[in-house]
Amino acid sequence: GEEVAQTPKHLVRGEGQKAKLYCAPIKGHSYVFWYQQVLKNEFKFLISFQNENVFDETGMPKERFSAKCLPNSPCSLEIQATKLEDSAVYFCASSLQGSRTNEKLFFGSGTQLSVL
Amino acid sequence: GNSVTQMEGPVTLSEEAFLTINCTYTATGYPSLFWYVQYPGEGLQLLLKATKADDKGSNKGFEATYRKETTSFHLEKGSVQVSDSAVYFCALMDYNNAGNMLTFGGGTRLMVKP
């Protein structure tokens, strides 16, 4: 597709439940990024993929967060046993290449996760 | 490590006023610099960018100049409109092993009143 598609738009979970978010990058884009936007408008980098391989996961909380980008499937971000502080908007972005000449990131409209 | 610092908001202006949103950065290499805008309920949109020192990015009346000597990339607009009300994010992209990873500032909310 021509835009980054994130689903669902809103997700409500009780504390301790699992949450799974999906992202379909723009067709042909090799890089996918996940960001977490918390209440103070700060964007925290979580993880990036180059095709189906993890490129950088330095921002991922080790214990409860996991992510995948499998061939011919949307990428996913999964949170096991959600906590109240996981409430945020999760943005996915994709880009064509990891080079200076094609550095534009295209962002999806985000998934609002509310943990109650 | 890399970091971006921008002025805290909210910034409240009357229509047609002059806008400046300050942004400074620290980076280990030679980053590209960006301003992104987030309108209410929407994702991020790239507003403008600059890839090297003294470059000026511009779009929709907004401008920002890459100042290496002051490590700054301040956003300016000569005459704001109500439709410019949004949150503005300064960001940098450094070319290391992390590919196209962006480092964002904390965002500045702009409110323009008629």
Cα–Cα nearest to B58, from B43, B68, B44, B73: B73
Query: Which tens digit of pLDDT belongs to each residue from B63-100?
Result: 999 999 999 999 999 999 999 999 999 999 876 655 66
Question: In chain A, what percentage of residues exceed pLDDT 90?
Answer: 66
Which of A55, A97, A107 shows the shortest C-beta gap to B98?
A: A55
A8-14, long-range: CB within 8 Å, 24+ apart, which pairs? Answer: A8/A111, A9/A109, A9/A110, A9/A111, A9/A112, A10/A111, A10/A112, A10/A114, A11/A111, A11/A112, A11/A113, A11/A114, A12/A113, A12/A114, A12/A115, A12/A116, A13/A82, A13/A113, A13/A114, A13/A115, A13/A116, A14/A82, A14/A115, A14/A116
B59 touches chain A (CB under 8 A): no
Nearest CA in chain A to B30: A100
Mean pLDDT (chain B) is: 91
**Is any Cβ of chain B less than 8 angstroms from the Cβ of A15?**
no
Chain A nearest C-alpha distance from B82 (Å): 21
pLDDT in tens, A18-65: 999 999 999 989 899 999 988 666 788 899 999 999 988 888 988 999
Query: Is pLDDT above 90 for B28?
Result: no
Q: How many whole angstroms from its chain centre is CA B18?
A: 15
Please tell me if residue A5 touches chain B, with a CB cutoff of 8 Å: no
Which residues in chain A are closer than 8 Å to B101, comparing Cβ atoms?
33, 45, 48, 56
Tell me which chain B residue has its CA closest to the CA of residue A100.
B95
